[in-house]
Structure 1
């Protein structure tokens, strides 16, 4: 498979999804769409904060992974296999860690603002 097609179908789709989540964040707490954890679903204030924080980090890191994968595809001497998918996983993981850290810094375990 062409390395650029592979990058577009992995990292490109992730970046597109992050833009959609960023432009159209969930308005109300729900079980289908948004950054859903037990703590974020405690109240609307945490829900809005968590989704805003996650979506900003997700756009940033998925964009970086997309650009890094395009550079990697440009200089690849052989076929790309697992490298773009590692960048996808790292993008999601970093966005989750940053969001959870921000929630812990701003809200108590009971869901009250610090």
Structure 2
């Protein structure tokens, strides 16, 4: 498979999906679409915050992943195989970690807004 096509179908698809999620975030808590973790689904306020945070973070990291994949495809001496998929996985993992950290910083375990100041 051509390296450029491989990057477009992995990293490019993730970037396209991140744009769709960013433009059309889920409005209500559901089991089909959106950032769905136990904590994110506790109430509507957390749901909105989690999806907004995740969508923005994923958009940034998917864009970086896509650009990194294009650079790899253009400057690699040999055909790339697993590298673009690693960039996709890292984008998703980093977005999840950053969103969970933001949820922990802004909400209590009971689902209430954290008002403590540092």
Partners of 1:41 and 1:87 in 2: CA distance: 28
TM-score for the superposition, normalised by structure 1: 0.99
Listed as ranges, the gaps of 5+ residues in structure 1 are none
Deviating 4+ runs (over 4 angstroms): none
Partners of 1:25 and 1:109 in 2: CA distance: 24
Partners of 1:20 and 1:86 in 2: CA distance: 22
Q: Does 1:30 align with 2:30?
A: yes
Alignment root-mean-square deviation, CA: 0.4
Superposition map of 1:84-103 within 5 A? 84-103=84-103
Residue deviations 1:32-90 (CA, integer Å, cap 9, x gap): 00000111111000000000000000000000000001001000111110000000000
Listed as ranges, the gaps of 5+ residues in structure 2 are none
Superposition map of 1:1-114 within 5 A? 1-114=1-114
